[in-house]
C-alpha cells in the first residue's frame, strides 16, 4: 500500500470536497495552466503584523528571483492575500484562495489561530498548507494532517532551547518567567519551565500580563526585583517586545537581572525600535543575520541588495518554504496535497541560510543559537554567541 492509498484508508482523501474548483492534477487541472503551479501567499498586509508579512513576501520573492520563477518545471503563479490580524480576516482570505483563486498550495500565515482555523478547510480541499511562521504546536501535532507542514518553529521548541541553556548557568536565586497571557505565551512558558526545571533549575516566580492591552509593566518588573531571581526569561513579540525591553531597562533591571528570551524578543524591526535598551539581551532562535556560513553570507548579501534591509527569521522561513516546494514538485506527479505531501515526507537534510535542518513530524528539527544583542558599526545585531544544539517539535 502506497502513501496515497494509506491516506485514503485513514479518511483524509475520502473527505467530501466542500471547496469547489481547487485545481487538479499535473497536465491540465491546475488553475495556473499546464506546467504551472498556483500558490496562495497568505500573509499580513495590514494591521500590527504587516512588517512580518513584508519580510515573508520578500523572502518568497527573492527565492523565485534567484531560481527563474519556477519550482522544478512548473512556472510559479503567486497570488498574495491579506491575512490581517486574526481568523476573522485570515480564514476568509484562505477560503478565497482555495475557492475563487483555485490555488494548488497555500504558504505563509503568521497567526496560529488562522492556521488552526483553516485545518478542516485544507483537509477537505486536499491541498497543501505550508506554514512559514505560526508557532502553535497543535498545527503539526494535536491537529496533525498529511496536508499541513511547517518550515518555521514551535513556540515550545524555541523556549526549550533557552530553558536547557539557562539551567547550565549559575543562577542559584532562580529565574523569573514572564510572557503575555495567550496561547503562544502559555506554550513558551510551559516549554521553558519544563526544560529548565527538568535540568535542575528553579523558577523564582511567574507573571502572565494580559495580551495586547498591557502598556505598563512596572508591577511585573517590581515582582521580578522582589523575587530575588538572578535572571529573567521572557516571551514577547512585536510592540509588546519593544515596550517590555525599554521599560525593563528604564526600571534599572537590565544591570541587576540579565534578560533572556525567545528570539522574537529582539528580531527585525523590533530591535531597531528598542534601541540601546536591547544591548546585552540574550535570546534563542534558529536564525541570525550574523551566522558565519557561506550560505547565510550569500543570502544576506542578496537580500540587502534587493531590499536595502537586513533579513529576518520571517524572511528565511518563507525563503525555505519556496525551496522546499521546489524540491517536492520536482518529484511529485500531481499538484494535489497527497502527491506533494508524499514528496515532502521523503526529503532528507535541507540546506538553508539558518543551517541544515530536516522535517521531524512535519515541522523542522533544527539548530538553535544563543544570540546576544550587540552594537556593531553603529547598528544593533543579534550576534551569535553559541550553539544551543538541535531541537525538534517534541524533543
Alpha-carbon distance 53 to 64, whole Å? Answer: 17
Q: Which residue has the cell 538553508?
A: 352
**SS3 assignment, position 269:** helix
CATH no., domain 156-285+368-391: 3.40.50.2300
The model's pLDDT over 90-115, given as tens digits with 9 standing for 90+, comes to: 999 999 999 999 999 999 999 999 99
Whether 3-153+293-356 and 156-285+368-391 share one fold: the answer is yes
Instruction: Select from 33, 125, 104, 122 the least CA-distant residue to 335.
Output: 104
Cβ atoms of 261 and 280 closer than 8 Å: no
Instruction: Select from 93, 153, 179, 207 the least CA-distant residue to 365.
Output: 153
Rounded to the nearest angstrom, the gap between the alpha carbon of residue 111 and the centroid of all alpha carbons in its chain is 10
> Bridge partners of 232?
176, 259
What residues in the chain have per-residue pLDDT under 70?
Answer: 1-34
Q: Which fold has domain 3-153+293-356?
A: Rossmann fold (3.40.50)
Using the CB atoms, write b or e for 312-351: b if 16+ within 10 Å: bbbbbbbbbbbbbbbbbbeebebbbbbbbbbbbeeeeebe
Backbone angles phi, psi at 115, to 5 degrees: -60, -45
Q: How far is CA 356 from CA 228, 268, 349, in A?
A: 40, 22, 6
Q: What is the pLDDT of residue 133?
A: 98
Residues ≥6 apart with Cβ < 8 Å to 377? none
Instruction: Select from 21, 111, 70, 29 the least CA-distant residue to 339.
Output: 29
Q: What is the pLDDT of residue 100?
A: 97
Rounded to two decimals, what is the model's pTM? Answer: 0.90
Q: What is the pLDDT of residue 10?
A: 34
Alpha-carbon distance 167 to 391, whole Å? Answer: 16
Q: DSSP H helical segments within the chain, as ranges?
A: 3-10, 50-66, 87-99, 112-117, 119-125, 155-166, 183-198, 218-227, 238-250, 269-274, 294-307, 313-331, 337-345
Q: What is the CA radius of gyration of the chain?
A: 21
Residue spans of the domains in the chain: they are 3-153+293-356, 156-285+368-391
Cell numbers at residue 376, please? 556593531
Cβ atoms of 55 and 110 closer than 8 Å: no
Cell numbers at residue 193, please? 519551565
Biggest CA–CA distance in the chain, Å, is: 67
Q: What is the pLDDT of residue 394?
A: 81
Q: Which residue has the cell 520573492?
A: 61
Q: What is the pLDDT of residue 34?
A: 52
The neighbour count for residue 168, using CB atoms within 10 Å, is: 10
Residues ≥6 apart with Cβ < 8 Å to 267? 237, 283, 285, 312, 313, 314, 382
Amino acid at each position: 500500500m502506497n502513501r496515497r492509498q494509506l491516506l485514503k484508508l485513514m479518511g483524509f482523501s475520502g473527505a467530501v470536497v466542500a471547496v469547489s474548483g481547487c485545481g487538479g492534477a499535473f497536465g491540465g487541472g491546475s488553475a495556473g495552466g499546464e506546467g504551472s503551479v498556483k500558490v496562495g501567499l497568505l500573509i499580513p498586509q495590514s494591521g500590527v503584523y504587516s512588517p512580518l508579512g513584508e519580510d515573508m513576501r520578500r523572502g518568497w520573492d527573492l527565492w523565485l528571483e534567484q531560481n527563474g520563477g519556477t519550482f522544478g518545471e512548473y512556472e510559479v503563479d503567486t497570488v498574495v492575500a491579506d491575512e490581517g490580524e486574526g481568523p476573522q480576516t485570515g480564514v476568509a482570505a484562505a477560503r478565497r484562495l482555495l475557492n475563487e483563486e483555485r490555488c494548488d498550495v497555500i504558504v505563509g500565515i503568521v497567526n496560529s489561530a488562522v492556521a488552526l482555523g483553516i485545518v478542516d478547510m485544507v483537509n477537505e480541499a486536499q491541498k497543501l498548507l505550508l506554514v512559514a511562521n505560526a508557532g502553535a504546536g497543535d498545527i503539526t501535532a494535536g491537529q496533525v494532517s498529511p496536508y499541513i507542514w511547517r518550515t518555521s518553529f514551535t513556540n515550545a521548541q524555541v523556549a526549550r532551547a533557552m530553558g536547557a541553556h539557562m539551567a547550565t548557568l549559575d543562577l542559584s536565586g532562580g529565574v523569573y518567567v514572564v510572557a503575555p497571557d495567550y496561547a503562544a505565551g502559555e506554550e513558551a512558558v510551559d516549554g521553558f519551565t519544563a526544560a529548565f526545571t527538568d535540568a535542575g533549575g528553579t523558577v523564582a516566580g511567574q507573571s502572565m500580563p494580559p495580551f495586547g492591552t498591557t502598556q505598563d509593566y512596572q508591577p511585573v518588573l517590581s515582582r521580578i526585583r522582589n523575587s530575588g531571581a538572578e535572571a529573567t526569561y521572557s516571551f514577547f513579540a512585536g510592540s509588546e517586545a519593544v515596550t517590555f525591553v525599554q521599560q525593563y531597562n528604564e526600571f534599572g533591571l537590565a544591570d541587576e537581572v540579565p534578560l533572556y528570551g525567545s528570539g522574537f524578543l529582539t528580531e527585525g524591526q523590533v530591535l531597531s525600535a528598542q534601541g540601546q535598551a536591547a544591548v546585552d539581551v540574550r535570546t534563542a532562535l534558529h536564525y541570525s543575520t550574523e551566522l558565519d556560513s557561506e550560505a547565510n553570507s550569500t543570502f544576506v548579501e542578496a537580500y540587502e541588495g534587493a531590499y536595502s534591509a537586513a533579513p529576518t527569521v520571517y524572511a528565511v522561513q518563507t525563503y525555505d518554504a519556496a525551496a522546499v516546494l521546489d524540491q517536492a514538485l520536482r518529484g511529485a506527479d500531481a499538484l494535489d496535497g497527497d502527491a506533494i505531501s508524499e514528496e515532502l515526507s521523503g526529503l532528507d537534510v535541507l540546506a538553508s541560510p539558518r543551517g541544515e535542518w530536516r522535517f521531524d513530524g512535519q515541522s523542522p528539527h533544527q539548530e538553535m543559537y544563543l544570540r546576544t544583542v550587540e552594537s556593531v558599526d553603529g547598528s544593533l545585531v543579534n550576534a551569535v554567541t553559541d550553539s544551543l544544539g538541535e531541537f525538534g517539535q517534541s524533543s
